[in-house]
Amino acid sequence: MACQERDPTERRIAKPVSLVAFWPVALYLLCMLDEIVNAVRNCRSCVVLTGAGISAESGVPTFRGSEGLWGKFKPEELATMAAFISNPKIVWEWYKWRRQVVGEVKPNPGHYALRYLQQWFDQFTLVTQNVDGLHRAAGSENILELHGNIYRNKCLDCNHQFSEDMDIDPDNIPSCPHCGGKIRPDVVWFGEMLDPQIINKAFSESEQTELFFSIGTSAIVHPAASLPITAKRQGATLVEINPEMTPLSGLADYYVSAKSGEFLPTLIERLKQTSPPG
Ligand code: APR
């Protein structure tokens, strides 16, 4: 479904902003900001996909890049079923450390801006690969957590879910009272299927949406990385916000080379000035 007031013959090319002098960059970003404001104004539905980058300004490490977790730790030893079966203690120590990290941080201006953004649309879906719960903490609604939630626990064998306040001792991992299986974090590990209801809903919203934002994700982990491509194929306007270019940047109608915690609040301010919600 395409946005209203868009010229269908318009060339849809990405607009990288790596210009040399500062003022053309500022001017360029300003023009792009206004075009994105217009896109928000003219579209009735929006899907936002977020990745680790949106939480980076809160102090949560990303997975890839120079400071990324997967540069320091091996995912196959910490985030797979095989790792948990062979060494559940080390896996639980890793998740307890990550729970502590995300437990000590707060949503940043990017998370809050997305909570406000939903007001400009009849249909708004926030799809996140993050397990940190920061979108919910910022007050966003209608969130699809593709990769689970780091605070939740479930049984390895029967999938029974357990309360979030369950404290796990990695030296003495509790067993499921229903089947005796080990308790594990309720996140999606490498090689595991995503919850079919959640991923199907994310795809159906992406197929129908008029506007799609991809924010703070390296856009390489599927099926999440297929969502913006699906939306674009169905005619949505695609906006990417990421200081680094990704495989998606060349497909985006607008590639914004900026931190989400800086660009998104600016977008909201501009929207409030030019076209308040409702
Ligand atoms: N604002 C926006 N983007 C940012 C910021 C920021 N302030 N800081 C970093 N980024 C970008 C990086 O440039 C990078 O492209 O965020 C992206 C983070 O990429 P990844 O670390 O790969 O995170 P993500 O895409 O969420 O990873 C997907 O991989 O390991 C799995 O399950 C894990 O959900 C995760 C999935």
Residue 90 burial (10 A CB sphere; 0-12, 13-18, 19+): middle
Q: Does any ligand 1 atom lie closer than 6 A to the CB of residue 51?
A: yes
Q: What's the CA-to-centroid distance between 64 and ligand 1, angstroms?
A: 7
Nearest atom of ligand 1 to the alpha carbon of 57? 7
Residue with CA nearest ligand 1 atom 30: 63
Q: Is 148 left (phi over 0), alpha (psi -120 to 50) or beta?
A: left
List all residues 6 or more positions away from 121 whose beta carbon is below 8 Å from its beta carbon. 40, 43, 44, 45, 46, 211
Please report the pLDDT score of residue 22 as a whole number. Answer: 65
Please report the pLDDT score of residue 1 as a whole number. Answer: 39
Please report the pLDDT score of residue 21 as a whole number. Answer: 58
255 bridge partner residues: 240
Q: What's the CA-to-centroid distance between 130 and ligand 1, angstroms?
A: 9
205 bridge partner residues: none
Please report the pLDDT score of residue 99 as a whole number. Answer: 94
Residue with CA nearest ligand 1 atom 14: 218
Q: Does any ligand 1 atom lie closer than 6 A to the CB of residue 149?
A: no
Cα separations in angstroms, 189 against 25, 69, 78, 234:
40, 15, 9, 30
Please report the pLDDT score of residue 66 as a whole number. Answer: 78
Q: What's the CA-to-centroid distance between 215 and ligand 1, angstroms?
A: 8
Please report the pLDDT score of residue 164 as a whole number. Answer: 72
pLDDT tens, residue order, the chain (278 aa): 344 444 444 444 444 555 455 677 777 777 889 999 999 999 999 999 999 999 999 999 999 987 888 888 888 999 999 999 999 999 999 999 999 999 999 999 999 999 999 999 999 999 999 999 999 999 999 999 999 999 999 999 999 998 777 889 999 999 999 999 999 999 999 999 999 999 999 999 999 999 999 999 999 999 999 999 999 999 999 999 999 999 999 999 999 999 999 999 999 999 999 877 76
Instruction: Give the CA-trace dihedral at 78, 79, 85, 90, to 10 degrees.
Output: 30
Q: Enumerate helices (H) and strands (E) in the chain, giving the number of each.
A: 11, 9
Q: What's the CA-to-centroid distance between 151 and ligand 1, angstroms?
A: 20
Question: Would you call 241 helix, strand, or coil by DSSP?
Answer: strand
Q: Does any ligand 1 atom lie closer than 6 A to the CB of residue 53?
A: yes
Please report the pLDDT score of residue 14 as a whole number. Answer: 46
Nearest atom of ligand 1 to the alpha carbon of 263? 1
- Closest Cα partner for 230 from 191, 261, 266, 204? 204
**If you count them, how many residues does the chain have?**
278
Residue 1 · residue 235 · CB < 8 Å: yes
Strands across the sheet with 183-187, in order? Answer: 161-162, 148-155, 183-187
Query: Radius of gyration of the chain from Cα atoms?
Result: 20
The reported pTM is 0.91
Residue 10 burial (10 A CB sphere; 0-12, 13-18, 19+): exposed
Q: Does any ligand 1 atom lie closer than 6 A to the CB of residue 209?
A: no
Phi, psi (degrees; rounded to nearest 5) at 184: -130, 165
